[in-house]
Structures are given as structure tokens and as C-alpha cells.
Amino acid sequence: MAGALLLGGLLTLAYAPFDHWWLTWLCLISFILLLAKSPVQQAFKLSFAFGLGWFGAGISWVHVSIADYGGLPLIGSIGLMLVLCAYLALYPACVFYTLKKYFDIKLWPLALPLLWLMAEALRGWLLTGFPWLSLGYSQLLSPLSGWFAVIGEFGVSALLILGCAALACSLLHRQWLSGVLVVTVLGLSGVVLNQINWVKPTQQQVNVAMVQGNIQQALRWVPEQDLPTMQTYQTLTAAHWGADIFIWPEAAIPKLEPLALDYLADLDQQMVQHQAGLITGIVNYNFENQQAFNNLLALGLKGHTQLKSDNSTAQQGQYHYFHANRYAKHHLLPIGEFIPFEDWIRGLAPIFDLPMSSFSRGDYQQANLQVKGWYFAPAICFEIAFPAQIAANLQPHTNFIITVSNDAWFGHSHGPAQHLQIAQTRAKEFGLPVLRATNNGITAFIDHLGNIQSRLPQFEAAVLQDNIAIVGGYTPYRQFADWPMWLLTLISFGVASRLRNKHI
């Protein structure tokens, strides 16, 4: 059990900020060998230990927010963390137990990819979903990276699990050549695919400035800090007039929207005067029906130009309360933005009564934000971890993916780096630049290939300004999503099942 726990824990080093992608291969192959040599009665416990190590080390940053802002004693925060990790560990435990019990080791490379994808799909959906640390993310810098634009992170996870199972089984049967051949083909094909320009930059560029306010989490919802926070963002913005578009992070404006109407109208006017547009996070609260939404608003210029009949710049902005050029977060974070079984557990502990923890959901599919003639497909915080939701909001006219977040919850942990890696993966999958604005880091421009074009240091109040190219074209993944991998793994599983039945 200790060996499985250790192998799972080592997987953390394969993800950002460590990026030792080869460790995923080493850990998975070693675990599959360990599983193969163990009795079936041990399979579930062994796999559960592997999953507990994987998630226990990988999402240890969750403990930071629980301990620092949840108001629980250390034993309570550790207990909640263990409950979450134990829940997540059930998925690989069920997969490997099923594999061990029902399939001969020689059939594992054929059967495992579908079982794995089914478990990962369920993990990304059940209880609103938590698809963090999916295996494919660890391969962003590996030879498999060329596959992201073709089959997405979901598909890369399947190829990875296939390659590891094939190599492990070939080693068990001392037929290592076949396993090496499979892994070599996967790696070389990924390298070749990485040379294909599915999407190409055009001559058009947009100058974008993203503002990182670096507001301490403990001060974000303190009423006395509302004005200083808003002044911080205005002051940082004013030093960069000349940019086409400004982006402020999630809930950058700490006042509820109905209470900030004068501030928003003034901001809207400033943007028009400087021929710019702004996207900012804010919470909208309807006092009549008591619904709250985690929103992104577009202010300033909506089209490329706004001219009067005498060709002078129009002085009328677009903003009015509840105007349509906005986005409401759909995928809410459990505990942080909504409380499961609220009637039962609200009030049991401070963590279940955090500020802004009763949001209403926006629609799954919403119109792009339009700013100065450009179109942005939005994702707030961990929505960027759901590629199907991103795909649902991509339109033929979409120019950018924008994701805003407040990772101040996670302090100096590796959580923000993993979050950035997920955003890079979305850029590579869909072939679109991703603009990531955060409160305290990691704020970054990501190009259409998933590379970080420029970024700000964490824990600094600063502005990141850069020219972002408009791109043309579609990646295969943007066109076909996950369907090809579902079909291929289903066929592979069918073959494994048929071969298994022949030997029963």
C-alpha cells in the first residue's frame, strides 16, 4: 500500500509548476506492474491508495483555503481535505479493480482506455464535477503535446493510459519490443502533429492590458476596503490608456452591481473617452428575488468605433444596469459559491457560511462578450477546466477565450500554476489565444499554441500589456470534440471483451 501511495503522490511532480512529464509514465507503469502482481482481493485497496496519494499531494492547495479562510481548526481542515481526496480516489480504484477482476493482463491495453475515460467523464460531472489533475494535463510539454489540437486533453489521457498499459504488459511478458513500439509511435506521431499549423495568426492584432490588483483575500469583502480596491484598479488602468481593451479579474469590483452603478457609469464613460473597452468581474445581486450572479461585464466601446454624425467620438457608453453584454458564471464551485444540501449543513461551520457562497447559475451557453468589435468566450475561475463548456460557447466569430480568477484563496501553493496549465491546454486544444486575468497571479497571455506569451509575477500589483494576434482556422478538436476518442476506445474495449469471452 505504501508503494502505491508513494507512486500516486509522485504524480504531482509531473504537473505545473514542476513539469516533469515523464514521471506520469514512470508512476503509471510502475503502478500497473504492481497491480498485475497483486491478488485481485488487493486491487481496490491498492488502487485507492494510489488515488489517495495522487489527489492528496496534487490538490493539497485546497487545504490552504480551508485552513486560512474556512474558520476551521487544523484537524477539521485536514479532515475535510481527506474526505475530498478519498472521494476522488474512488474513481481510479473502481477502474483498476474492474480491470483486474474482469480482464486478463494481456487485454489491459485494449480495455483500460475506455474504463478510464468513463471514470474521468463521471468525475467531471457528478456533484457538479471536479476534473482537476486529469492525467493529460501533465503531458503539455511532452512528445504527446501535438495530440492536444486533435483529440484534446481527454484523448491525450486515453493515449497516455494506453501507452503505459502496453509498456507495462510487455515488460511483464518479457516482450518489451511491442510496448516500446506502441509508445514510440504515440510519441513520434505527437511530434509530427505538433508541426502542423491547424490555426494561423493573421496580420490583425489587438492591444490588451490586464490589471492584477493583488488585493489580499482577507480584505476583499470588507466594506471599508471597497473604495481603496476600486481606486487601485482605476489607478493601474489610467497608466495604460492607449490599450484597446482592459481586463480586470474575477470580482475585481467588490461592491454589488446595484450599489456600484455610479462607479460603473463613470468607468464606462472613461473607456469611451479613451476609445477602449473593459471586461471586469463583479457580483450582481437582485434584491427583489435575492439571486446573486458571479458576472463579467463589458463596458466602454462595444463596436470598433462609435462616431457621431460630425465624425467626432461618441460620448455615450453602452452600460446600463443588467445590460445584455455580460456573462453569468454557470459552473459554480461547491462550498465556495454554492452549498450542497444547504438546508442541512449551512451554519455547521464557518466554511459553510463564507461570503458570496449562495450564487445562482448562469446558462450553460451564453453569447460572447463583445468589446471594441472583438468577441470573447468567457470562463470564470475553474470553468476553464471544462472543455465541453468552453466549446459550447465558442462561435464562428469568437476571437479569444478569456478566463478570470481569484487564486488568492490558494496562497503560495502550486494550485495557481496548475490552473494556468489548464488554461494553456484549452488554448492548444481550440487554437485560440487565452487571456487569463487574476487578482494576484498568475496573470498571463497564452497564444493559440498554448505557449505563455507574457506573464506577471505573482503577488504584485501590476498591469500586463501586450499585442495579441487574431487567428484564423479551426483545430480538429474544436470541430469534433471528444467523439473520435469515445468511438475508438469503445471499439478497443469491444475487441477486449470479445477476446475475453473467447477465453472464458
DSSP character for 368? P
What residue spans define the domains of the chain? 2-196+481-502, 200-474
What is the rounded distance in angstroms from the CA atom of residue 381 to the CA atom of residue 19? Answer: 22
What pLDDT is recorded for position 408? Answer: 78
Check 100, 255, 302, 329 and give the catalytic one.
329
Environment class of 242 (CB within 10 Å of its CB; exposed 0-12, middle 13-18, buried 19+): exposed
Cis geometry, peptide bond prior to residue 17 (ω within 30 degrees of 0):
yes
Strand 200-212 versus strand 462-472 pairing type: antiparallel
DSSP character for 324? S
What is the rounded distance in angstroms from the CA atom of residue 343 to the CA atom of residue 171? Answer: 54
What pLDDT is recorded for position 339? Answer: 52
Instruction: Label each residue of 80-144 as H, E or C.
Output: HHHHHHHHHHHHHHHHHHHHHHHCCHHHHHHHHHHHHHHHHHHHCCHHHCCCCCCHHHHHCCCHH
**What pTM, to 2 d.p., does this model score?**
0.93
What pLDDT is recorded for position 374? Answer: 97
257 is catalytic: no
What pLDDT is recorded for position 317? Answer: 84
What is the rounded distance in angstroms from the CA atom of residue 258 to the CA atom of residue 353? Answer: 23
329 is catalytic: yes
250 is catalytic: yes
What pLDDT is recorded for position 393? Answer: 97
Q: Beta partners for 299?
A: 278
What pLDDT is recorded for position 309? Answer: 47
What pLDDT is recorded for position 470? Answer: 97
What is the rounded distance in angstroms from the CA atom of residue 501 to the CA atom of residue 503? Answer: 5
What pLDDT is recorded for position 68? Answer: 62
Distance of CA 15 to the CA centre of its chain: 13
What pLDDT is recorded for position 349? Answer: 45
What is the rounded distance in angstroms from the CA atom of residue 172 to the CA atom of residue 36? Answer: 8
Kindly list the averaged pLDDT for each block of 10 residues, start to end, along the chain of length 504: 95 97 98 96 97 95 68 74 93 98 96 98 92 97 98 98 96 88 96 97 96 84 86 96 97 94 96 97 87 94 67 70 95 66 46 58 96 97 96 97 89 91 98 97 96 97 98 97 97 94 67
Residue of 113, 106, 112, 102 whose CA lies nearest to 178: 106
DSSP character for 348? S
Check 250, 257, 337, 383 and give the catalytic one.
250
Topology of domain 200-474, per CATH?
Answer: Nitrilase/N-carbamoyl-D-aminoacid amidohydrolase (3.60.110)
